[in-house]
Structure 1
């Protein structure tokens, strides 16, 4: 039995479309249809019900799916465990958020280059919300984001956590000592992109402090480089992990504020589709865990 035909069956079953599965497998819809027809003929059963709009599994197809996934995954695990890693080839689309870029992404990419010299990395830096959608849509193979992502056939592996701190320019006119949220009212707070976990956390601490919604201005940006530049110029206060601004903290240009509102830590995950035919995202995710733990 042809392993490629089993892999094709898995993707048609998951995506419920011959054409979308063809795009995923970088082949034609005719080739996908031919593979499924051959597999059905070899097994002597129909695996799919087809009409003009929908593709759905028959009872035989439902019974076959779990075993087909296990076989494809087992073969790929065998190739990974026994084969020479340096022979791995292909392109991996990695999506990462700024915090990971600042923290340890360069070390991960260097590790991938050394282990898989024939693997190409395409890098996309975006927000966690956007990358989560792209992972589910198959546009990104591996996401290094604030997770987890709860969706069918999506795996999440814990990477690391960063404490979220109140950061400002040392020259900013704030009273000395411990600060309340109300003490920040004269300055905007930059808190990642709108809808992100840290942005929502800032809104919650303002609400908990009993302040009116308009008492403190919460700005958003999906660029940590932009936020960092703005707070260095004294435009406002930011909510950031130490790793993002550690060089400016070391020079004294920026400082950590003692604010009486603690913010939850930012939890990062490696997120990827549970694809039995493509082991590279899972392998690189394991590398990311090792790199993050050593950082």
Structure 2
């Protein structure tokens, strides 16, 4: 007796297997949990074996599931290529959900959207701007296809593509007439504002002052890069921000970079995306993001 399976059943299996969660897989495929469970059950009935072990608290592949997963991924990839070749420029519109930090939005999100419009015209984009920890959580829940964030995401089925490294900087309004170089003790006398409390930057600034015996300081936070820049421009205090937000002439007239002997850390930004079937749009956009970063690096040099 032959096996008669549907691509949507294969798609459900691959999504559950890579995300290790029925809920996250359902979110990725824009269907309900009961619907994705029914697809998996139908597939298991056709192959005559259980593919996902549901007995414990975690979703685990059975021996048969591990045996069939790679083949299932290849089937989906072949199907995608077939549709692309068959449709030509008449590809069906598809949505990609992108998460990015405020730093990336300020630095080159417009360039990325231009690349998407040119090379992936069948995609529509949904952009969510938040901190790296919150975007990572959304990615792991299957509510994002791609997250451009600080640091790798170490979750099943997620791939990380290194993009760029940015140094944090001390900045201040030129109206304050501060010297070009200041010690950490001198900086501690001013109000300081940086990214949200759950960001790596906030933690590193706090740690810097604590380790040098200068805590407490008047350290404030915001999850908006634009707010951070505007508040600092107004002379409210000293800002700590990524160098990526200080490129170009937009803020050069109103803001100055302050050099401090104690350097702020440098952070790597990566494009984290799912390798399940729906996540292939994430992979394509991640490659475009890397192209943008390489071009900007060449232009800078």
| Global fold match (TM > 0.5) | yes
Q: Find the aligned partners of 1:180 and 1:13 in 2 and give their Cα distance.
A: 52
Q: How many residues align?
A: 291
1:193 corresponds to which residue?
196
1:101 corresponds to which residue?
105
1:164 corresponds to which residue?
168
Residue 161 of structure 1 contacts residue 265 of structure 1 at CA under 8 Å; is this kept in 2? Answer: yes
Measure how far apart 1:236 and its partner are: 0.7
2:210 corresponds to which residue?
207
Q: Find the aligned partners of 2:279 and 2:170 in 1 and give their Cα distance.
A: 41
Measure how far apart 1:116 and its partner are: 2.3
Q: Deviations over 1:27-65 (max 9, x none)?
A: 455654553344334323233456799876544334333
8 and 199 in structure 1: CA distance in 2 versus 1, 3 angstrom threshold: same
1:126 corresponds to which residue?
130
Q: Find the aligned partners of 2:38 and 2:114 in 1 and give their Cα distance.
A: 41
SS at match of 2:9: helix
Measure how far apart 1:20 and its partner are: 5.9
1:145 aligns with 2:149: yes
Residue 182 of structure 2 contacts residue 260 of structure 2 at CA under 8 Å; is this kept in 1? Answer: yes
Q: Deviations over 1:243-295 (max 9, x none)?
A: 423435532x2111121111122321111122134421100110010011212
Q: Find the aligned partners of 1:54 and 1:240 in 2 and give their Cα distance.
A: 39
SS at match of 1:250: coil
Residue 187 of structure 1 contacts residue 235 of structure 1 at CA under 8 Å; is this kept in 2? Answer: no
2:290 corresponds to which residue?
289
Residue 85 of structure 1 contacts residue 116 of structure 1 at CA under 8 Å; is this kept in 2? Answer: no
Give the unaligned 5+ runs of structure 1: none
Residue 97 of structure 1 contacts residue 125 of structure 1 at CA under 8 Å; is this kept in 2? Answer: yes
Higher mean alpha-carbon deviation, 52-61 vs 138-147, is at: 52-61
139 and 258 in structure 1: CA distance in 2 versus 1, 3 angstrom threshold: same
SS at match of 2:240: strand
SS at match of 1:225: helix
Q: Find the aligned partners of 1:26 and 1:141 in 2 and give their Cα distance.
A: 12
81 and 148 in structure 1: CA distance in 2 versus 1, 3 angstrom threshold: farther
Residue 142 of structure 1 contacts residue 281 of structure 1 at CA under 8 Å; is this kept in 2? Answer: yes
Residue 248 of structure 1 contacts residue 254 of structure 1 at CA under 8 Å; is this kept in 2? Answer: no
Q: Deviations over 1:60-84 (max 9, x none)?
A: 3343334433443454467668974
Residue 76 of structure 1 contacts residue 279 of structure 1 at CA under 8 Å; is this kept in 2? Answer: no
Q: Find the aligned partners of 1:16 and 1:224 in 2 and give their Cα distance.
A: 34
Higher mean alpha-carbon deviation, 43-52 vs 199-208, is at: 43-52
Q: Find the aligned partners of 2:131 and 2:277 in 1 and give their Cα distance.
A: 27
Residue 86 of structure 1 contacts residue 117 of structure 1 at CA under 8 Å; is this kept in 2? Answer: no
Report the aligned-residue RMSD: 2.9
Q: Find the aligned partners of 2:77 and 2:22 in 1 and give their Cα distance.
A: 21
1:72 aligns with 2:73: no
